[in-house]
């Protein structure tokens, strides 16, 4: 694994842990009613997506590494959050934050450990 891939995988872990910290103890309904939590989680998801897009472009080996490391989907979420200002569905954001991101963090940790 090159240094760029290691750094980008580490970014996914870092921002994913931030998502977990900002959603800890919240129910979906609390999240949907908490503008600050929603804004912060959206920012973290954008950062994850940016790292995922760069990782996808820089390391073809990772494209089939683990389905949970869905770099294309994460980058797509980043684009949606960055450019679809009025159409963001916070229910989808919640699902990403509580299901997809934890799985992606585990997969990114495996990438780092294996040196893939």
Distance CA 62, CA 49 (A): 15
Q: Could you please report the per-residue DSSP string of 17-51? A: HHHHHHHTT--HHHHHT-HHHHHHHHHHHHHHHHH
What per-residue confidence (pLDDT) applies to 28?
98
Domains, in order of start, for the chain = 3-114 (1.20.120)
Q: Which residues contact 52 (CB under 8 A, 6 or more apart)?
A: 8, 12, 70, 71, 72, 74, 75, 78, 104
What per-residue confidence (pLDDT) applies to 116?
62
Q: Quick check: 48 and 82 in contact, CB under 8 A? A: no
Name the pLDDT band for 52 (thresholds 50, 70, 90): very high
> At residue 95, does pLDDT exceed 90?
yes
- pLDDT tens track for 61-84: 887 777 888 999 999 999 999 998
Averaged over 35-57, what is the pLDDT? 96
> At residue 1, does pLDDT exceed 80?
no
């Amino acid at each position: 694994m090159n240094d760029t891939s290691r750094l980008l995988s580490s970014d996914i872990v870092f921002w994913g842990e931030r998502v977990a910290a900002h959603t800890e103890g919240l129910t979906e309904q609390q999240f949907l009613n908490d503008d600050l939590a929603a804004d912060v989680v959206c920012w973290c998801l954008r950062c994850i997506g940016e790292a995922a897009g760069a990782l996808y472009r820089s390391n073809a080996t990772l494209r089939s590494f683990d389905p949970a490391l869905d770099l294309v989907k994460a980058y797509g979420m980043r684009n949606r959050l960055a450019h679809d200002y009025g159409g963001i569905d916070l229910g989808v954001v919640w699902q990403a934050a509580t299901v997809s991101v934890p799985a992606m963090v585990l997969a990114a940790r495996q990438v780092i450990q294996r040196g893939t």
